[in-house]
Amino acid sequence: MLFHNIALIQAVIVACTVGDSYAQSTSTFQWPNAQLSYADLQLYEGDLSIFTDGCPMRGDSSTIPAQWLRLAYHDMSTHSVDDGTGGLDSSIQYELDMPQNIGEGMALSLNDFLSIGIVGPILGLADVMAMGVVFAVVGCGGPIIPYRAGRIDASTAGPGSVPQPQEDLATQTEKFKQMGFNATEMIMLVACGHTLGGVRQVDFPLIVTDVEDAFQNFDTTPQAYDNTIVSQFLQNTTQDVLSIGPNVTTRSDFRIFSSDGNVTMQRYHKK
């Protein structure tokens, strides 16, 4: 299946691969290491997974795993390959008032990570957010993603460089390039990210224009980390409002998915 391809997984799980700032030291590595031991303890014996087991809904809209994935992606997408800044550094906690980060799921997800009581001097918020991505994917039936700790938490906000649905393809492609993704990886990342979640009408009234439609899922399996988003797009049965919504300007998924003539979508689609 599409979402069990390791190259694609490396693209979507940006929390574990792209733009992370890892603590560096010139001293000889010593074992046991308190930070890594504590990270392993939380990964294998901690309580973070209780939020994501079974891919639970949050209220009557999105799932908690979908919100955790969106939070991590918006945090890391401020990475710049040109100057080496940004990445998954928990700067999102200072960026919630930016238009790119609209939505109650952002603050609720941050509260999830902070309320469980594992963020501290040994394991920072960025590391916990990355761990949250691991649990979000596996909690919805996806694969177990390799994890490592050692990120440095930011103390200020990053730039407002998250791709927006109203932007044209050239602008979005350049933004993904700045993150370190080529055009093919951009398609893979967006498809994997949108296997979960959807769009809230109150947050994006120009995308979900029907005020009676509080939330629109990207596909018909919103609680499964699968390739339905791809198969329905290729079969012209998609309900993805970012592909077929009434506002042509915000059909960013359609522009991205079809940007190479559906070659990438077809390659990773298994009927």
Give SS3 for 12. helix
261 backbone φψ class: left, alpha, beta (φ>0; ψ -120 to 50): left
Quick one: which of 166, 170, 112, 103 has its CA closest to 139? Answer: 112
DSSP 87: S
Instruction: Check: pTM over 0.85? Answer yes or no.
Output: yes
Compute the distance between CA of residue 268 and CA of residue 8 in angstroms, rounded to an integer: 9
- Please give the chain's pLDDT, 271 residues, in tens: 444 443 334 444 443 333 344 444 445 767 778 888 999 999 999 999 999 999 999 988 899 999 999 999 999 999 999 999 999 999 999 999 999 999 999 999 999 999 999 999 999 999 999 999 999 999 999 999 999 999 999 999 999 999 999 999 999 999 999 999 999 999 999 999 999 999 999 999 999 999 889 999 999 999 999 999 999 999 999 999 999 999 999 999 999 999 999 999 999 886 4
Q: Are the C-beta atoms of residues 68 and 156 closer than 8 Å to each other? A: no
Q: Determine the pLDDT at residue 33.
A: 82
Tell me the fold of 169-267: Peroxidase; domain 2 (1.10.420)
**What is the model's pLDDT at position 53?**
98
Instruction: Give bridge partners of residue 151 from the DSSP assignment.
Output: 22
Q: Can you give the residue ranges of every domain in the chain?
A: 2-21+32-139, 169-267
d(CA 98, CA 105): 14
Angle between helix 64-76 and 104-115 (nearest 10) = 100
